[in-house]
Structure 1
């Protein structure tokens, strides 16, 4: 027997003046005032996105991600909450998932991958970077794994 699911917007706490370009899949999340969400974006439950952010097309924001105010998330950015700590996927066991926290005024370049980390405010993540560790010093980070290349 086949089951069909449809993308859309369900149970989202939406701020004022939010702009969304369809199609999107957003459910059980919070989106702050003045934020823009581009097409083909998925934002899962228990995600909080601050005010005046821009989430570009084809990005995936998984559960347990918090993004501060005035952030830019480039095209195709992937957030990860499952580190396969048991040798494979958690298979929905949220006790194995980890949180990600992004400060305010953070820019994340296209096709970056963000593992469960904390990224401080006023930070730039270069396109294609893979962030595997917490970032405590504002600056520009690039590479795989992402490393500080310039302080701000």
Structure 2
């Protein structure tokens, strides 16, 4: 029903400038309506402004702390485990462009990102599509996670590499 109203309004407007302004306004309203449950989730603690795209595909399985200027694109799906901390400026992007031997295909490749429990993502870090991060992992600041992380530890760099493991007390 919302889409029918949006389509009708867009067809009725003939001038391009007005159409763009209204389209932007409708997109903001649409994002607000579908992000409302995310913002009201008692497990999400935010410490500033952050951007969610395609928030219907973002799943939260426990407590999540989101700092200032975090960007999460859930187009391919994002699953956040319990006790996940996302530091300022970090980006979680579940979509990318397909590439063949001749260059870009101009098609998007949407793959789910899974982040385990007790994970900290450092300031400015980037997590790319299709990645799985196991539990008990720290991603350093400005790191780029482009492949799966299967062992707990501290990871830094672009692309990330393990610099330290954890000693488990029993």
With the shorter chain as reference, the TM-score category is 0.7 to 0.9
- Inter-partner Cα distance in structure 2 for 1:40 and 1:88: 34
Structure 1 unaligned regions, length at least 5: 21-30
Please state if 1:42 is matched with 2:51. yes
How many residue pairs get aligned? The number is: 134
2:78 to 47, 65, 79: 65
Q: Partner residue of 1:127?
A: 141
SS in structure 2 of the partner of residue 85 of structure 1: strand
Q: Partner residue of 1:150?
A: 164
Structure 2 unaligned regions, length at least 5: 1-15
Moved over 6 A (4+): none
- Inter-partner Cα distance in structure 1 for 2:164 and 2:97: 31
- Inter-partner Cα distance in structure 1 for 2:134 and 2:160: 14
SS in structure 2 of the partner of residue 141 of structure 1: strand
User: RMSD value over aligned CA atoms?
Assistant: 2.2
How far the C-alpha of 1:57 sits from its partner, in A, is 1.1
- Inter-partner Cα distance in structure 2 for 1:149 and 1:52: 27
Residues 126, 40 of structure 1: CA spacing in aligned structure 2 closer, same or farther, 3 A cutoff?
Answer: same
Please state if 1:10 is matched with 2:41. no
Structure number with larger C-alpha Rg: 2
Q: Partner residue of 1:138?
A: 152
How far the C-alpha of 1:33 sits from its partner, in A, is 3.6
Deviations 1:80-117 (A, max 9, x none): 22231141653xx5xx2111000010000000000120
